[in-house]
Amino acid sequence: MNSKLQTPIDYLKGVGPNRADLLRKELGIHTYQDLINLFPNRYLDRTQYYKITQLQRNNAEVQIIGRVVGLKEVAQGKSKRLVATFKDETGAMELVWFRGFKWLKESIKLNTDYVVFGKTNAFGSTFSMPHPEMELLIEHEKNLRSAMQPVYPSTEKLSNKGITNRVMSKIMQQLFLETHGKFEETLSVDLLSELKLISKSEALFNIHFPKNQELLARAQFRLKFEELFYIQLQLILKNLIHKSKIKGFPFDQVGEYFNTFFKQHLPFDLTNAQKRVIKEIRADLGSNAQMNRLLQGDVGSGKTIVALMSMLIALDNGFQACLMAPTEILSVQHYNGLLDLCKDLNISIKLLTGSTKTSDRRIIHEALENGELDILIGTHALLEDKVKFKNLGLAIIDEQHRFGVAQRSKLWRKNLTPPHILVMTATPIPRTLAMSVYGDLDISIIDELPPGRQPIKTVHRYDSNRLKVLRFVRDEIDKGRQVYIVYPLIQESENMDYKDLMDGYESIARDFPSPKYQISIVHGQMKPADKEFEMQRFIKGETQIMVATTVIEVGVNVPNASVMIIESAERFGLSQLHQLRGRVGRGAEQSFCILMTSHKLSNDSKTRLETMVKTSDGFEIAEVDLKLRGPGDIMGTQQSGVLNLKIADIVKDNDILKLARFHALKILKNDPRLVKPQHRPILFTYQQLAKYKNIWNYIS
């Protein structure tokens, strides 16, 4: 790397301490290196001149040569605007100003050639350009500017303090002057020639000052590839180092607990997918390295059995196991489910959550430390310092995207030798994202549902069809089934949500009067004990309808519930809709999911609802979700910094990502330590990145 690149930005001519301070605070630019990696958001193409008849209805900015043939002020209510008629040889359009026109009226020359530049709006067949940039053609021809103008990311504060786009361009030019536009190559000669990539120096020059569209495209491709390549290299290396350095406990026994359960107590036959995943986990546990595996499987695909059988292997080897879930409801459900599955095995299982009594806590802590307790299930409470295991061999984390990285690593430190880790999620992670975020974990997928489950029928209904929907609900209840009705929860206005929920509850109570019908209600403002009481009534079948906010998204298993009605479904994200739908369809009966919405729907909402009706494949849904929302959102807030990429886009550059991963794997296969002479630039760049952690330090 050009040694100058680590110079603090204050020293660049034209920056100085005040501007440097703003650039640091607003854009995180500390060094020359950070500045060179501030890539433009878009470009204004000043190479083309359009005729008025060629204008299109799009949001591109265009430049046109013509003359102002007339000026008038137009009053509208209290406000005024200045309108100029602008003509070229093909037609006429309007230039419009809403402010500052006293000066403009005096300075605009009529019937003189101008170049105007800006965004156009179409009204009927007439185009208008608000607040255009104007320059006399004679002046314009004198200033030959670089063909395409970059537009840099900015903030309100920067513009207010006079750091305009023009200033940013000037600073960038100064940087290229001081570094002579020479930057060290970061990829190997083989990669450059095989992929026909332009050099690093050419790419940086053409990303900031492109001469034409083609050079810009080549510069973008080269820099996107490089960014994704080093992320993949880092993740793959991390996995290799992990496997070679971090020794795990070798679980070489598959013994009594596992075999007895498998032969005598399995409640149903395992699917082929479950068998395959258990095999993968067994191989990991038996190797000498610490397992680091992500288990993905849709709601209801039978991850719990896989988790239990993995824990039984730990017990067979004389170790303890724990399972951590994000909510109390979910951990209680895991606890009850596992108690039931293990009732004939001699195993001690306990539950630890925020609401465990102090006296019970003491007993649990003691039993954990002296090894009497085999399996501990719980929430974040497991992370407290007081919780000490005698020998934790396997930690399972459910719905891991709800736990931050720091929380996960707390579990690691419970032992001198870190336990094996199995991370489970029912939120299908699109393969693109899995490659880039969890590239250092091995991934297992359960992609078939247990036999006897019928796919859930999903329909979209407008509020105007409500009476039909209610009639359908009555019929289902008459057949002895139960129904969920879920209302959206929008954090900003809990009071409003509560009102929506209560209004909904009251109208349902009118439509389903007691004593014939009983209704449970659950929402976030209730005490845990009251929630639990209402849940239990529904689980036991004492109530036929459960009215709730999304509290029930994870962790209620009622095989008899066959209808899920989601009110204002347009307010939910795709993964949430998919999770909610997974609450029904857990028995052998046909289940239904009804998405209720108003008639006013945005395009994104329509896409979400159509996707839900069309498919129940979690991965397909996740791919659509990723396209609609982008990666930051999908990973949940703790991980939202996961991909603060400088130039690549995980969704749009999916193909480049695959290419980058392919080449990173190929290089590391032949040269795992990057010691061959041709890989010197790659090793050097990798070490610099680790040292200056300025771009790729966001991977967990």
How far from 581 is each of 446, 453, 485, 565, CA to CA, in Å? 18, 14, 11, 9
Pairing of strands 92-97, 126-130: parallel
Q: Supply 18's token pair.
A: 């005040």
Q: Is the peptide bond before 631 cis (omega within 30 degrees of 0)?
A: no
Under CATH, what is the fold of the domain 256-446?
Rossmann fold (3.40.50)
Asked whether residue 176 carries a pLDDT value surpassing 60, the answer given is yes
Q: Provide CATH 3.40.50.300 ranges for the chain.
A: 256-446, 457-615
* Residues 630-672 pLDDT 10s: 655 544 433 333 456 788 877 678 789 889 999 999 999 999 9
Task: Say how far apart CA 578 and CA 616 lie, in whole Å.
Answer: 8
Q: Where are the alpha helices (DSSP H) in 414-493?
A: 431-437, 466-478
Asked whether residue 314 carries a pLDDT value surpassing 90, the answer given is yes
Give the 3-state secondary structure of residue 511.
helix
Residue of 360, 339, 337, 363 whose CA lies nearest to 349: 339
Question: Are the CB atoms for 583 and 482 separated by under 8 Å?
Answer: no
For the segment 291-311, the average pLDDT, to the nearest whole number, is 88
For residue 162, is it left (φ>0), alpha (ψ between -120 and 50) or beta? left
- 67: enclosing H helix or E strand: strand 61-76
Lowest pLDDT segment from 40-49, 218-227, 388-397, 562-571: 40-49
Task: Say how far apart CA 695 and CA 359 lie, in whole Å.
Answer: 49
Asked whether residue 139 carries a pLDDT value surpassing 70, the answer given is yes
Asked whether residue 420 carries a pLDDT value surpassing 70, the answer given is yes
Q: Supply 57's token pair.
A: 């209805």
Quickly count: other Cβ atoms within 10 Å of residue 555's Cβ.
Answer: 20
Confidence of residue 455 (pLDDT cuts 50, 70, 90): confident
For the segment 424-437, the average pLDDT, to the nearest whole number, is 74
Identify the residue whose tokens are 């951590």: 324
Asked whether residue 696 carries a pLDDT value surpassing 70, the answer given is no
Angle among Cα 198, 202, 208 to the nearest 5 degrees reads 125
Domain 47-144: state its class.
mainly beta
Task: Say how far apart CA 566 and CA 436 lie, in whole Å.
Answer: 33
Asked whether residue 144 carries a pLDDT value surpassing 70, the answer given is no
Strand partners, 79: 76
Task: Say how far apart CA 685 and CA 700 lie, in whole Å.
Answer: 20
Lowest pLDDT segment from 82-91, 302-311, 357-366, 531-540: 531-540
Strand partners, 123: 126
Domain 457-615: state its class.
alpha beta
Question: Are the CB atoms for 620 and 431 separated by under 8 Å?
Answer: no
Q: Provide CATH 2.40.50.140 ranges for the chain.
A: 47-144
Task: Say how far apart CA 357 and CA 102 lie, in whole Å.
Answer: 76
Q: At what angle do helices 574-581 and 618-629 cross, to 10 degrees?
A: 160
pLDDT score at 362: 94
Pairing of strands 92-97, 79-87: antiparallel
pLDDT score at 698: 35
Q: Supply 335's token pair.
A: 């606890």
pLDDT score at 59: 63
Strand order across the beta sheet in which 482-486 lies: 457-462, 592-597, 561-566, 482-486, 545-548, 519-522
Question: Are the CB atoms for 68 and 42 separated by under 8 Å?
Answer: no
Beta strands, E only, 493-613: 519-522, 545-548, 561-566, 592-597
Exposed, middle or buried: residue 452 (CB in 10 Å: 0-12, 13-18, 19+)?
A: exposed
pLDDT score at 102: 79
Confidence of residue 333 (pLDDT cuts 50, 70, 90): confident
Task: Say how far apart CA 549 and CA 30 lie, in whole Å.
Answer: 45
Identity of the residue numbered 425:
T
Identify the residue whose tokens are 């489950």: 453
* Residues 48-78 pLDDT 10s: 889 999 888 776 688 999 999 999 999 888 8
Q: What is the mean pLDDT of the chain?
A: 86
pLDDT score at 497: 63
**Rounded CA Rg of the chain:** 31
Identity of the residue numbered 224:
K
